[in-house]
Structure 1
C-alpha cells in the first residue's frame, strides 16, 4: 500500500495520496470578502495548485463535493464551475447548502482525483 501525506499539520494534511488517488482537504476562497464568483474562482485556483503539486490536474478529477452557504448563489457559483471543468471531464459531484466555518465564506470544495500516469 502506498500512502503519502503532504503539507501535514496537527489537524490535517492538505494532500493525501493513496495508491493512485489524490485527496485534497477542503479549499476556500483567497478573499472571503469577495462575491460568490470570485470566491469560487480563487478556490478553484487553489485546487489547481494542489492537484499539480500532487501530480494530477482537473482532467483527472473523480469527485467533488461543494458546500455553499446559501443556494441563492448556486447559479453564479455554477457559472464559474462550468467554465473551469474541462469539457467532457466532469467529475461525480454533490453540492449541499451548509454553514461554513466562518460566516463570510460562501463556498468550499473537497475533491478526489486520480494521479496522472
Structure 2
C-alpha cells in the first residue's frame, strides 16, 4: 500500500511548487522528491549578488540547505538522514564536485554513508539552483 503525504508542511520547509508530494511511503521505504536549496520564503540559499549585478553560487551553502531540507522532510516521514539508503545528486557545474563532496562529508562522514549517484546536468528548474538531491530512505530501524 502506498501513502501520499502532502499534509501541511513544517514551517521550516518550503512548499512544493507543483502538484506533487514532497515524500511518499511505500512499505518501509520513503521516497523523497528532488529537493533544492529553496528556503521557506521562496528564496534560494547560497546565491550571492554583487552590486555590479554579478551572481555567484555558494555550493557548500546550497548543499547544506538541501540536506537540511531533506532532513526536515525525513523527520516528517518518521526517519532521519541516518536512514538514507540511496541519494541521487544533481550538480549544474562539474567544477563544484569537490566543494559538494566536502560538504556532503559534514553530514555523512562519521556513519555508514548511503549509496550515491552524482550527475552533472545542464540546468535545474530555477537558474539560481546549483544543487538538487532526491533520496530513498527506510523508516527508522527497518
TM-score computed with the length of structure 1 as normaliser:
0.91
Larger radius of gyration: 2
CA distance in structure 2 between the aligned counterparts of 1:7 and 1:75, rounded to whole angstroms: 34
CA distance in structure 1 between the aligned counterparts of 2:126 and 2:73, rounded to whole angstroms: 22
Structure 1 segments of 4+ aligned residues over 3 angstroms from their partners = none
CA distance in structure 2 between the aligned counterparts of 1:58 and 1:45, rounded to whole angstroms: 9
Maintained 8 Å contact 1:58/1:86: no
CA distance in structure 1 between the aligned counterparts of 2:84 and 2:110, rounded to whole angstroms: 12
Q: Judging by fraction of residues, say which structure has more helix.
A: 1
Give aligned pairs, total. Answer: 116
Gap runs ≥5 in structure 1? none
User: What do you get for the CA RMSD once the two structures are aligned?
Assistant: 1.6
Gap runs ≥5 in structure 2? 8-15, 48-56
Partner of 2:22: 14
Of structures 1 and 2, the one scoring higher in RCO (CA 8 A, sep 6+) is 1
